[in-house]
Structure 1
Amino acid sequence: MPFLAAAFFVTALLYAAVGFGGGSTYAALLALWGVDYRLLPLIALACNIVVVAGGTIRFARAKVTPWRDALLVTALAAPAAFLGGLTPIARDAFMVLLGASLLLTGLTMLIPVRENAVAEPGRIARYMPIIAAPLGYLAGLVGIGGGIFLAPLLHLTRWRDARAIAATASLFILINSLFGLAGQMLKHGPHAFGQAISGALPLLIAVAIGGQIGSLLAIRFLPQRAIRWLTAALVIWVGGRLLLGL
């Protein structure tokens, strides 16, 4: 458990530094550790909530969250995340989806991020609430927040400036994680959630500390590009290990 807690700490630190929760990597690390795959989403989503809740509050206090548009993007995705959490899935299919999600996550982390809005939003940007719905379903299915998929699309379509996109992704992850966790609890029962969380308290503490340090490092010390590349390398390695182990 100390090694796993350290891995969760590093994951939370890196992901929080780039505005995400880390749910996909938490789930993959638990899978590599041999934890029952049915409990993975419960633990990963709980860790996600711990990490992004603080970020969402900070963005709100800084008044950079575009509330109307952010809530529109989340409106269809959150119920879809709940349905994804309710959907039964076989172990092998779960592992393939999780591993593929990690590889895609790593690649999307390498997409250049605009610091300021320099052009009008693309035409597809107006359809982002509809596009976000399947992302929410996938997020609930494999136990992640889904913001790691949403944010690159928002950047590519010039939806908003970088800070507004980071704030929207943080809110998206938080709400999807809550809805996905509710679906997972209904699917497996409250006893499964109690079992998962009772054995994961050190992990929750590790991500809480790591998330706060990650936010501080991003603001005061480390360049965003270096953090994103480190995070991409981490998730690609873990995703590859997961797929090769099937």
Structure 2
Amino acid sequence: MLSVLFAVISLLYATVGQAGGTAFLALMAFASFPPVEMRPTALLLNIVAATYSTWLFNRGRLVDWTKLRPLLAASLPAALVGGFIVLDAHLYKAFTGVVLLLAAAILAVGHVRQGAQDRSIPLRGAFAVGATVGLVSGLTGVGGGIFLAPILITLRWASPKQTAALSAPFILANSVLGFLGAAYAGQTPSEQTWLYALAALVGAMLGTLIGLRWLSERMTRCALAAILGMAGLQLLLLPYLRT
């Protein structure tokens, strides 16, 4: 049953270029996974889901590497440092849940002007955003794309479709560094991760195809807003649901 849920999460998130790290963590917390296993397991699932999405987006020449490079240059060292740190989860869940809900609201009510999104990212802005999101990624086991996406769209640094293509490799790279840091800190993934990873891969394959073929710019934006909202509510309400 857990494998099916991991596959569904991966499918939904992959439609907008995301890997599903926040929902993976929420599901594992609800299923009473040992805390020491949650972060490395989520990061490994991120790696599996984002690897396929990255390959497919790159094969279609949809990834703007010029925009992505400075973001990665700042985020990767920060993700590694964040992975070294073992963080208490309670405050993080509340804070992250509020941030995700705010990001969802901005995407849902904001108006995107056609032709205004394809702007170059200022170097200082890229380094500031990349470092901040990378650190949060390593600390929490979230690949970071779910924070990067609303920033890119809100600041009109990328269109919703471009954001999906940028998010997948960003999540992949940060998840790899975050996992290495978590492993160094002594955290190990669940013994059943291989089964969850297979489910996540199937979901990512289906979700990426759906996002590329059938979602318009507006639908992609709305889908991302819905996913951000669901992830935020999961993190905020999970302690009450478990009691």
Shorter chain as normaliser: what TM range?
0.7 to 0.9
Which residue in the other structure is 1:201 paired with? 194
**Mapped pair 1:101 → 2:99:** no
AA matched with 2:230: L
Does the C-alpha gap of structure 1 residues 240 and 211 become closer, same or farther in structure 2, counting only changes over 3 Å? same
Stretches of structure 2 that go unaligned for 5 or more consecutive residues are none
Which residue in the other structure is 1:224 paired with? 220
Cα distance between partner residues in 2 of 1:74 and 1:236: 25
Which residue among 213, 232, 237 is the counterpart of 1:241?
A: 237
Equivalent residues of 2:76, 2:173 under 8 A apart: yes
Q: Deviations over 1:42-67 (max 9, x none)?
A: 11011111111111112211222221
AA matched with 1:28: A
AA matched with 1:104: V
Stretches of structure 1 that go unaligned for 5 or more consecutive residues are none
Which residue in the other structure is 1:39 paired with? 37
Does the C-alpha gap of structure 1 residues 154 and 221 become closer, same or farther in structure 2, counting only changes over 3 Å? closer
Does the C-alpha gap of structure 1 residues 64 and 116 become closer, same or farther in structure 2, counting only changes over 3 Å? farther
Does the C-alpha gap of structure 1 residues 36 and 143 become closer, same or farther in structure 2, counting only changes over 3 Å? same
What is the DSSP-based 3-state SS (H/G/I as helix, E as strand, rest coil) of the residue aligned with 1:88?
Answer: coil
> TM-score, normalised on structure 1?
0.84
Does the C-alpha gap of structure 1 residues 122 and 210 become closer, same or farther in structure 2, counting only changes over 3 Å? closer
Cα RMSD of the aligned pairs, angstroms, is 2.6
Cα distance between partner residues in 2 of 1:170 and 1:27: 18
Aligned length: 236
Aligned sequence identity (%) = 27
Cα distance between partner residues in 1 of 2:62 and 2:159: 10
AA matched with 1:231: I
Cα distance between partner residues in 2 of 1:225 and 1:157: 14
Alignment of 1:102-181 (within 5 A): 102-110=97-105, 111=107, 112=110, 114=112, 116-118=114-116, 121=119, 126-181=124-179
Cα distance between partner residues in 2 of 1:238 and 1:12: 15
